[in-house]
Amino acid sequence: MKPGDEISLTVNPDRYTTVRYAGASGDFNPIHIDEEFARSVGLPGRILHGLWTMAQVARAHTEAFGGAAGPASLAELSVQFRGMGVMEQEITVRGTVEEVEGDTAVVRSEAIQDGRRIVRNARARVRVLPDSGD
């Protein structure tokens, strides 16, 4: 791993993504699972949980850099949520290795849907295995 290396993950949330995530996470805010309620508060419809989208950002890192350490490679992740994600529209997570120092790499990333950055200024610290090359 070296500065400038890039990661990418594409995911297509289907129309039941928020229902499954509500059950799995315990976040039953109706703006995510009730179309009528979401519209009644001025949203275009049900929207994705920001933390589901953050989980896709996390997965982009652990799948790209995990190696043998797998999910334990992710030491830190911070994100800002902006705008809103919707279902049935592709999301792309893109990241770039900013620096590598010792056994830690810093990666900057964002999640984009239909040209909108729904997660921005994401910064991760990833534990690098000693034998993972440059």
Partner 1 sequence: MTANAEAIGKRYEPTTYAVGREKIIEFALATGETDPLHLDVEAARTAGYPDVVAPPMFAVVYQRRSVSGALFDPELAIDFAHMVHGGQEFTWERLAVAGDELTTTLTVADVSERMGMSFVAFATESLNQLGETVCTGLWTNIVRTPA
Residues that bind partner 1 (CB under 8 A): 11, 17, 20-21, 23-27, 41, 50-52, 54-56, 58-59, 62-63, 66, 70-72, 74-81
Give the nearer residue to partner 1 in terms of CB position, either 17 or 109: 17
What minimum distance in Å lies between the beta carbon of 9 and partner 1?
Answer: 9
Residue closer to partner 1, measured from CB, 88 or 134: 88
DSSP class of residue 123 equals E
Tell me whether residue 80 or residue 114 sits nearer to partner 1 (CB atom): 80
Q: Which residue, 81 or 129, has its beta carbon nearer to partner 1? A: 81
Q: In this structure, how many other beta carbons lie within 10 angstroms of the beta carbon of residue 85?
A: 23
Query: Which residue is associated with the tokens 């350490």?
Result: 69
Instruction: Using alpha carbons, select from 34, 32, 9 the residue that is nearest to residue 95.
Output: 9
Q: What is the DSSP string of 103-125?
A: TEEEEEEEEEETTEEEEEEEEEE
Phi-psi category of residue 121: left, alpha or beta, with phi > 0 → left and psi -120 to 50 → alpha:
left
Residue pair 60/8 in contact (Cβ under 8 Å)? The answer is yes
Q: How far is the CB of 82 from partner 1 (least distance, A)?
A: 9
For residue 114, the minimal CB distance to partner 1 (Å) is 19
* Least distance to partner 1, CB of residue 27, Å: 7
